[in-house]
Amino acid sequence: MGRMSSTGWSEEELIRRLKANDPEAWAEFATGEYTTRLYNYLRHKVPDYQDVEDILQETMKAAVQAIQTFDGKVKLSTFLFSLANYKVADFWRRRQETTELTDIHVDPGMSDESVEFMEVLHRLRDEHRQVLLMRYYVGLGVDEIARILGKTYKGAESLLSRARAELRSALGPDGDSTDKELA
């Protein structure tokens, strides 16, 4: 993820403004690229849109409270996704459900192949789906994923490798044409 601000602020400048509680910066952050990506990521983590919106709202409020302690040693996206992950965990704890997510969000106009791909993705182990979404959907780096999940770099790499293997196996030999070159 590159520059995230439509106002042209660098990440450092945005962080400085967020820490100063600049309303313009917070409004920008709340509707910016990271938040939009987080919104999309959450759509694959919780059952319905209302839950997605509730968690996103809780995450942003937590970000307002936590930004003063943010030391800038990690990217803003890592900070935001870490907070969101706690909120998702809280959500499932509140629900007292240990079952994996079964409903998928199918957008109107999605092709059959895409619906099929989503179904395959949702059949994967939760942690595998999570790590694949973070890496290939949100575009987070392995180092960021490691920090968010509280793992070492090697641990995150190994998890990603297992997740790729499960996806490859779930897609099968007749899977999507774009997957044919997956080793």
| Nearest-angstrom CA–CA distance, 10 and 13 | 5
- Least gap, CB of 42 to other proteins (angstroms): 11
Judged by CB under 8 A, does residue 45 bind other proteins?
Answer: no
| Nearest-angstrom CA–CA distance, 57 and 125 | 27
Shorter beta-carbon distance to other proteins: residue 4 or 96: 4
CB-hemisphere CA count at 13 Å for 26? 14
178 C-beta neighbours (distance < 10 Å), count: 10
Shorter beta-carbon distance to other proteins: residue 11 or 54: 54
Q: Which of 63, 73, 57, 53 has the alpha carbon at shortest distance from 25?
A: 63
Q: What is the dihedral of CA 126, 134, 144, 12, to 10 degrees?
A: -140
Select from 1, 101, 118, 170 the one that contacts other proteins (CB under 8 A). Answer: 118
- Least gap, CB of 98 to other proteins (angstroms): 25
Judged by CB under 8 A, does residue 26 bind other proteins?
Answer: yes
Select from 135, 146, 156, 159 the one that contacts other proteins (CB under 8 A). Answer: 135
- Least gap, CB of 57 to other proteins (angstroms): 6
Residues that bind other proteins (CB under 8 A): 19-21, 23, 26-27, 29-31, 35-37, 39-40, 43-44, 53, 56-57, 60-61, 64-65, 68, 107, 113-114, 117-118, 121, 132-133, 135-137, 139, 164, 176, 178-179, 181-183
